[in-house]
A and B are shown apart, each in its own frame.
Chain A
Amino acid sequence: MKNQVLLLLFLGVTLGWGSPPAKGQDRFYTKTGYISFFSKAPLEDIEAHNRQVVSFLDFKTGDLVFSVPMKAFAFKKSLMQEHFNENYVESDRYPKATFKGKVLEIQQVNLALDNLYKVVVEGVLTIHGVDKLIRTNATLQVKGRQVQGKSTFSVTPQEFNIQIPSLVKEHIARQIDITVDMLYVPYVTKNL
């Protein structure tokens, strides 16, 4: 049995399945990332905050992912929050928004050097079950053993097939500004 496993492993490695796993110090993550969105509308501004975003950033490959629990967006009014989940983003059907992408030219970021790096992020943002390719500027600030990532970009509800009934058209702006602020710490896999 052990031999078979070894053989499989050997085969796997020689045939190039999977890459060698990233070393511990390459993978950074956060479980308490912050994302907010703001939309200026004629009748009232809509604003929501989410402090429970999970994100991973691999400094070896540049891979960057976000998992955003939609129900964790907190609004000023509980009714707004209910409508957001119930009528617009349909959180029961699409509980999470996700991003899968890359930080381009991640090599320029030197984790050993405290500095602010300007980077470009590119990837697929999925909200309400709809995928959209986005590309945005971001900053990565290395501070000791932590990295703070920040970005702002805009989306429209239409891009994600979020329908707004004509009755409440005036309430909701065409453009929604999204702010991302993540404090990454090294991800250490628990050795079982």
Chain B
Amino acid sequence: MKLFKYAFLAAMVAFCTSHTAAAQEDLLKLAEAQDSTREGPMQATFKGTRLVNGHTVETNGAGALLFLISHRFGALNSGAYTFWGLDQATIRLGLEYGLNDRLTLGMGRSSLEKTYDGFLKYRVAYQKPAGLPVSVTAFASTALKSQNWLNAENNYDFAHRLTYTYQVLIARKFSDRLSLQVSPSMVHRNLVETPTGETNVLAVGAGGRFKVTKRTSFNAEYFYLLPGETADAFRNTLSLGVDIETGGHVFQLMATNAQGMIEKFFIPQNGGTWSNGDIYFGFNISRVFGVKEQKKW
């Protein structure tokens, strides 16, 4: 009888506590249903503004200044005498500034052909968890070859030094680990090297990242030249890389068959082949500085 009484009491206590817990659970469900947060834009589709060589959909936040050092060693197949390419280097120094969350302006200078470049990047659309399935960014850049002409007697115009690139970058973050991007691209050259060369070169880039840990990811990128004279004379670019993020820095290590670090080089004029060992190791290092702090926060 006593046992029964205790059992009954225990049951009562259990019932009462479970009851309050249940009540709180219901109340919490009610609270979660009230959620007024607008489904915000998908953040961090990629860690950096570059996937490997090419741009990602990511723009800098408002007031963020990004300093980017891109470096490529020489070709692996250059042999022991040049220490498998590590003796040589091409470099690009760049600055990118986010005017607002959507618009980023950038400029840079590559040692290859002593090229200056400037670009505009505009985030047209954000992927939303409960809306648009992709992020879209428009990209336009101008590259200026400042290297002296080999045959200056040809009376070149200034315009002959210019190359324009236009891209639409479309990316989707499939999960917190996997993001993929396609990048239809067009490169317009005011001067082509050969009589049969194409002024406008069309290509499609595709690539993505797979996060290995929270702060590291594996990246791959491929630029496919659409059939034409350029596709016959030059090579598609395949790049593999690893991102390592530490606070305000993103380190990107890569192996690629392109030596140049701007679209003008790695899309329409890439002669390197992986199978021949025209493989360039390299890295990008970026550092973000908060120039202007957000006012509304």
Contact = CB atoms under 8 A, between A and B. Distances in A.
B44 A19 contact: no
Nearest to A32: B36
B25 interface: yes
Contact of B31 (A67, A77, A83): A67
B2 interface: no
B34 interface: yes
Given A85-B43, A167-B246, A100 B293 contact: no
Interface string B242-281: 0001111000000000000000000000000000000000
B27 interface: yes
Contacts of B151: none
A63 B64 CA distance: 44
A56 B20 contact: no
Interface residues of A, number: 44
Interface in A73-125: 74-79, 81-83, 85-87, 90, 92-93, 96, 98, 100-102, 123
A76 B292 CA distance: 10
Nearest to A55: B31
Secondary structure at the B interface, as helix, strand, loop or mixed, is loop
B17 to A, nearest CB: 11
Nearest to A72: B37
Interface of A: 19, 29, 31-32, 48-49, 52, 54-56, 58, 61, 63, 65-67, 69, 71-72, 74-79, 81-83, 85-87, 90, 92-93, 96, 98, 100-102, 123, 165, 167-168, 171
18 contacts: A19-B19, A31-B36, A32-B36, A52-B37, A55-B31, A56-B27, A65-B28, A75-B294, A76-B290, A77-B290, A78-B64, A83-B247, A86-B176, A87-B215, A90-B176, A90-B214, A96-B32, A102-B24
